Amino acid sequence: MNSFLLPLLGGVLLGAGASLLLLFNGRIAGISGITAGLLTPARADTAWRAAFVGGLAVGGVVLALVRPESFGPPVLSGMGATLAAGLLVGFGTRLGNGCTSGHGVCGLARGARRSLVATLTFMAAGALTVFVTRHVLGGVS
């Protein structure tokens, strides 16, 4: 299939999932916020959060069965770099109150200036990081 049609369709599907969560549960599909909410024990809204994250994991298993090329090998193989990246993503998304889904899709779609600033910032920081690791340092593992 055309190399842009598949990403576009993927985006439509992802947008449909986020819309479903809004229509039925009245919730914003911000993955980092939904996940972090599970770390606080005894919350009344644990069930739908766990179900959503469970749905993500089930989706991973389905993809691995029907479309294994969806997954590529990790770009980081070193333990230290992987740990650092995970910590940065976890801490950063909570400090900035959202990630690619919450700010980059849901927030932008509702016209939130905050989300526009966050999205431009994490895109720029990501691009700068790739520039430094790939073109200045010549690769980080």
Partner 1 sequence: MKAAVMAGLAGLLFALGLGMGGMTNPAKVVGFLDVAGAWDPSLAFVMAGALGTYGLLRKLIVRRARPVLAKDFPPAPSAVVDGRLVGGAALFGIGWGLSGYCPGPALVSAPVGGATVLLFVGAMLVGMGVFRAWEVLRAPRTSSQPG
- Per CB under 8 A, contacts with partner 1 among 55-74 are 55-64, 67, 70-74
List binders of partner 1 among 71-130 (CB under 8 A).
71-77, 79, 81-110, 112-115, 117-119, 121-130
Cα gap 34→102, rounded to integer Å: 10
List binders of partner 1 among 19-38 (CB under 8 A).
19-37
Q: How far is the CB of 41 from partner 1 (least distance, A)?
A: 11
Q: Within 13 A of 42's CA, how many CA atoms are on the CB side? A: 0
Q: How far is the CB of 42 from partner 1 (least distance, A)?
A: 13
10 Å Cβ neighbour count for 30? 25
Number of residues that bind partner 1 (CB under 8 A): 117
DSSP 110-130: TT-HHHHHHHHHHHHHHHHHH
Burial class (CB in 10 A: 0-12, 13-18, 19+), 139: exposed
Q: How far is the CB of 104 from partner 1 (least distance, A)?
A: 7
Query: Among residues 42 and 53, whose Cβ is nearest to partner 1?
Result: 53
Indicate whether 9 belongs to the interface with partner 1 (CB under 8 A). Answer: yes
Radius of gyration of the chain (CA): 17
Q: How far is the CB of 131 from partner 1 (least distance, A)?
A: 5
